[in-house]
Every structure is written in C-alpha cells, then in structure tokens.
Chains A and B, each alone.
Chain A
Amino acid sequence: DAGVIQSPRHEVTEMGQEVTLRCKPISGHNSLFWYRQTMMRGLELLIYFNNNVPIDDSGMPEDRFSAKMPNASFSTLKIQPSEPRDSAVYFCASSLNLATDTQYFGPGTRLTVL
C-alpha cells in the first residue's frame, strides 16, 4: 500500500516567491497533519484537518502560511511570500481518524529559501 505522498521532495526558491507543498494522505485516512522540522525548533505541528476541515491552525507561524484540503486525497501548504527563515523540512502525516493517535509520516519536502 502506498504511504503518504509528498511533492516536491526538494524545493529551492528565492525570497519573496510563492511556494506550494503538496500531500496525498493514505487512502481511507481522515486526518491530515502538516509539520515543520528544523534543528532549532524540532518538529512542530502547523495545522491539522479532519474530514477536510481545519481543526487547529494555532501552529501556523504567520499569515504568510496557508493550508487547504479540498478533498480527502489532497492537501496543500502554501507560503507567500517565502523568507529564508522558512527553510526547513515540511512533513505531512495522516491518521485513520481523530480517535486514532497513530500518525504516519510522508517523506517530507526539504525547502530552501535563498
């Protein structure tokens, strides 16, 4: 079975540009999570969805970040405009539902903002 799929795997962009990260959760999973990982701050939860509805976006750092989940099999995380401090690895994870704690992570997108 396919796991969580993320694209692109690597993204290099210049400051001020728009960046869109994509995620396809495991089929049948109803909860989706976006995380950011840096050496300084570790793994941080940015936002999570249940049944395509955002439940908690308190971890989104600022208005430059937005996330959508238009359907059960696709989510995007957008940064506009990007800044060098946004450089990190962004992970998407999914779980069966909100009553199930186990989260399965995608391979991540390594973002570098120059």
Chain B
Amino acid sequence: QKEVEQNSGPLSVPEGAIASLNCTYSDRGSQSFFWYRQYSGKSPELIMSIYSNGDKEDGRFTAQLNKASQYVSLLIRDSQPSDSATYLCAVSYSGGYNKLIFGAGTRLAVHP
C-alpha cells in the first residue's frame, strides 16, 4: 500500500511568519508531487507542483523536494490569515497513469 504521510496539525503560526508543511511518501518510483490547498467546505485547489529535486518558488510559496529522503515540503512566507486552510500533499503513483495518492492533510491556522 503506497502511502503519503502528513502531520494533521493544526499548525498555528502568527501572521507574517513562515509556515512549514511537511510530507513523506513511500513510493520510490513517484515522479510528480503536488500541494493542494483546501478551504473548509471547498474543493482542493492546486497551488504548487514539483518534479525535480530542489526548490521551486512561486510568489510566497516554495516547494522543496528530496527524492532520496522521500520528502516534500511547502514553505509559506509572510503567512496571512487567508492562508488558513488544510494543505494536502499528493504524490503520483508509479504503478498507474496519472494516479495521485493524497495525504490526509495538514491544517494550518494563521492568527493575526
């Protein structure tokens, strides 16, 4: 059973701080990694994708990937109350076309 593990949180950070969200996965053949944001009562929304080892930056978001350690992270700089949501890590399953395995999500709370 391929797994994606995330700390369920809640992760509480003050406004303006850096939020660090982590994810580990078990499928060594995975090639694609995604972070989705899900507000309460809403659908998951893609915010970042990463395919190569290292960092990928997009605005206030930075995704980090280390395939050797089977580890993906998401950093949110200058956190805002509007960033409060559940963040889902998704990893492509090497045995199936375009099949994603989702973690349970980390709930982030940014307080003013």
Task: Name A's B-contacting residues (CB within 8 A).
Answer: 31, 42-45, 48, 50, 55-56, 91, 95, 97-108
Contact = CB atoms under 8 A, between A and B. Distances in A.
Contact of A106 (B43, B49, B103): B43
B29 to A, nearest CB: 14
Nearest to B43: A105
Closest 9 pairs between A and B when the two form their complex, measured CB to CB: A98-B97, A105-B43, A43-B102, A42-B104, A101-B32, A98-B98, A105-B44, A108-B43, A107-B43
Interface residues of B, number: 21
A103 B46 CA distance: 8
Q: Which secondary structure dominates where chain A touches chain B?
A: strand
A36 B46 CA distance: 17
B57 interface: no
Contacts of B49: 101-102
Contacts of B32: 101
Interface of B: 32, 34, 36, 42-46, 49, 88, 92, 96-105
Given A42-B105, A43-B88, A103 B43 contact: no
Contacts of A99: 97-98
22 contacts: A31-B98, A42-B104, A43-B44, A45-B100, A45-B101, A55-B96, A55-B97, A95-B98, A98-B97, A100-B98, A101-B32, A101-B92, A101-B98, A101-B100, A102-B49, A103-B46, A103-B98, A103-B100, A105-B36, A105-B44, A106-B43, A107-B42
